[in-house]
Amino acid sequence: MGSQEKIDRRSLLTGVVAGLASSSCLSSQVKNQDHYPFKKSFCYWPYRNIWSIDQMIEVANKLNCQGIELVDPKHWQKLKDAGLECSLSTSHPFTKGMNHINFHDANIAKLKERIDLCKKFGFPSVITFVGYHDSSPNGGGKVSPKDGIKNCIKAYEKILPYAEKQGITIQMEILNSRVTEKMKGHPGFAGDTVEYCGEIIRHFNSDNFKLLFDIYHVQVMQGDLITRINNNIDIIGHIHTAGCPGRNELNDQQEINYPAVIKALKDNMYKGYVTHEFLPTTDPYKGLQQAFEVCSPRV
């Protein structure tokens, strides 16, 4: 997907083996960061054509992660057996969001199914999406921003009490609508700002309905990251990272000042997951290792 096609899979796999074998010093540095105040995770999908689930579990343990994210439930028992959790479960697709009533029944059923699975395995959260202004290609239709909010509220009124009862958090992700490249942006997506998603979430004032603040997507759409974190920390329940532009590694070729952004999260007493969700362009293990180092608050 996207820039994955540019990656030489064989050379990456070779690099993974070498990286895992030769990185004990750097891994120890990551593991010994006792001041690291967040939970660590990375997303499954950018690596699914590079590593097997067993290799991902090995990488997660090497990097002292607590979870791997958006993992197919068929692998959940392996995660649990390895002392990891699926830090955020998949649910309904972002192409069929809650802003159109045609998708409500199927989405609510899928959320309930994943809430039940999370409860069974002891995993914390499940993802959800607003959807598109025009979902006609997927069986929906056009919906105004105002009506989209009303429709979302109607849908979550039906499923949120169940999530609260089960002790599972529903995390609404922001996606940018500006970038046209596949898996780097979603033109026409309605839930593309902190304020729009926040209006829906704040309607409920629930500890079990939170904002998935994707730093990359927010930077593309709005910027002003630290102010938005400061002003919305009450509803932020999950963090995603990636470099901007490009949705790649957190290196010096991208514009986000991650140490400053991470410090803002720490200063606001954020304690949840910081999950890396970028498309690797080089050695994937070293890219993750570097990302966790960049996102370690300096004390």
Say yes or no to pLDDT of 2 above 50: no
What mean pLDDT do residues 101-115 have?
98
Return mean pLDDT, the chain. 91
Rounded Cα gap, residues 201 and 176, in angstroms: 18
Task: Say which DSSP state 117 is in.
Answer: H
Q: Are 218 and 194 in contact (CB under 8 A)?
A: yes
Domains recognised in the chain with CATH numbers: 2-18+38-294 (3.20.20.150)
Looking at residue 35, what is its pLDDT? 63
Number of Cβ within 10 Å of residue 174's Cβ equals 27
Beta strands in 25-110 (DSSP E): 39-43, 67-69, 85-86
Cβ atoms of residues 131 and 93 within 8 Å: no
Residue 7: per-residue pLDDT: 42
Q: What is the mean pLDDT of residues 109-135?
A: 98
pLDDT digits (tens, 9 = 90+) for 262-285: 999 999 999 999 999 999 999 999
- What is the model's pLDDT at position 297? 77
Q: How confident is the model at residue 4 (pLDDT cuts 50, 70, 90)?
A: very low
User: Tell me: the pLDDT tens digits for 190-232?
Assistant: 999 999 999 999 999 999 999 999 999 999 999 999 999 999 9
Percent of the chain at pLDDT exceeding 70: 88
Average pLDDT over residues 251-259: 96
pLDDT in tens, 30-64: 444 446 789 999 999 999 999 999 999 999 999 99
Distance CA 79, CA 84 (A): 5
Distance CA 86, CA 182 (A): 25
Lowest mean pLDDT of 2-16, 149-163, 207-221, name the range: 2-16
124 pLDDT band, cuts 50/70/90, is very high
The answer on pLDDT for 6 being more than 60 is: no
Q: Is the pLDDT of residue 23 over 90?
A: no
Stated pTM of the model: 0.88
